[in-house]
């Protein structure tokens, strides 16, 4: 599944994490970020350009695109790539100050996502923040989604064929409501600072490790 085709303008969640990094930089606080399911590395580059040291983690085939992006932006020394084949087993241990996960939670069944995010939260320092987004149940992706009425624990199936082709998401996904995402973060022990649903129906949240 391609979860990495994102607009070049920073979305709301990325703006929040970039603002956090900039604030920490102004206070001379070093920042180590885990970019989980980093794709080609655009988010990692944007964070590194503000001074963060970034561990970009994804399937091994994304290693070269990430390194190329980092080199082209002149931040190759600030970005390392960590190959992951399965979660949470291959998850980097940290400690991290921040973690950023763009849509990756939707790539997994709910139980697996909960286990993985619990491991992510454990990898954060106390006070560290997790910035996360998920494909929305009430977005365009939810049209004719077969598991729309299923409990979140059982919700994992392919999109309607036309949508799967249009969005280049051929594999099964778990779609979330905002409430689903907030409950997930509470279940893993995070303290939710804010959550919101975008105009396109994507659900996003920020949680802190306490």
Q: What is the pLDDT of residues 130-142, one digit of tens each?
A: 999 999 999 999 9
Estimate to the nearest angstrom the gap between the alpha carbon of 165 and the chain centroid.
Answer: 22
Most distant CA pair in the chain, distance: 49
Would you say residue 6 lies in a domain?
no
Query: Would you state the torsion angle of the CA atoms of residues 43, 69, 106, 86, taken in this order, to the nearest 10 degrees?
Result: -120
* Paired strand residues for 32: 53
Which range of residues forms the domain containing residue 92?
A: 12-208
Residue 1 lies in a domain: no
Question: What pLDDT does 10 receive?
Answer: 60
CATH number of the domain within which 132 lies:
3.40.50.150
Asked if residue 90 belongs to a domain, the reply is yes
Does 78 reside within a domain?
A: yes
- How much is the average pLDDT of 183-208? 96
Question: For the chain, how many structural domains are there in total?
Answer: 1
Q: Inform me whether the pLDDT recorded for 8 exceeds 80.
A: no
């Amino acid at each position: 599944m391609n979860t990495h085709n994102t607009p070049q303008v920073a979305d709301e969640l990325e703006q929040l994490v970039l603002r956090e990094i900039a604030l920490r930089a102004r206070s001379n606080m070093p920042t180590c970020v885990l970019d989980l399911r980093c794709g080609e590395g655009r988010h990692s580059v944007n964070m590194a350009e503000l001074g963060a040291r970034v561990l970009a983690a994804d399937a091994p085939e994304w290693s070269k695109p990430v390194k190329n992006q980092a080199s082209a932006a002149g931040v190759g020394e600030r970005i390392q790539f960590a190959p992951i084949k399965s979660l949470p087993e291959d998850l980097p241990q940290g400690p991290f100050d921040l973690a950023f996960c763009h849509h990756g939670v939707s790539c997994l069944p709910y139980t697996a996502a909960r286990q993985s995010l619990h491991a992510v939260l454990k990898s954060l320092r106390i006070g560290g923040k997790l910035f996360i987004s998920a494909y929305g149940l009430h977005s365009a992706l939810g049209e004719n989604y077969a598991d729309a009425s299923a409990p979140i624990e059982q919700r994992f199936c392919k999109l309607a064929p036309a949508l799967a082709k249009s969005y280049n998401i051929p594999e099964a996904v778990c779609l979330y409501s905002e409430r689903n995402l907030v409950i997930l973060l509470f279940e893993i022990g995070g303290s939710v600072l804010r959550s919101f649903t975008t105009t396109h129906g994507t659900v996003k949240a920020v949680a802190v490790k306490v």
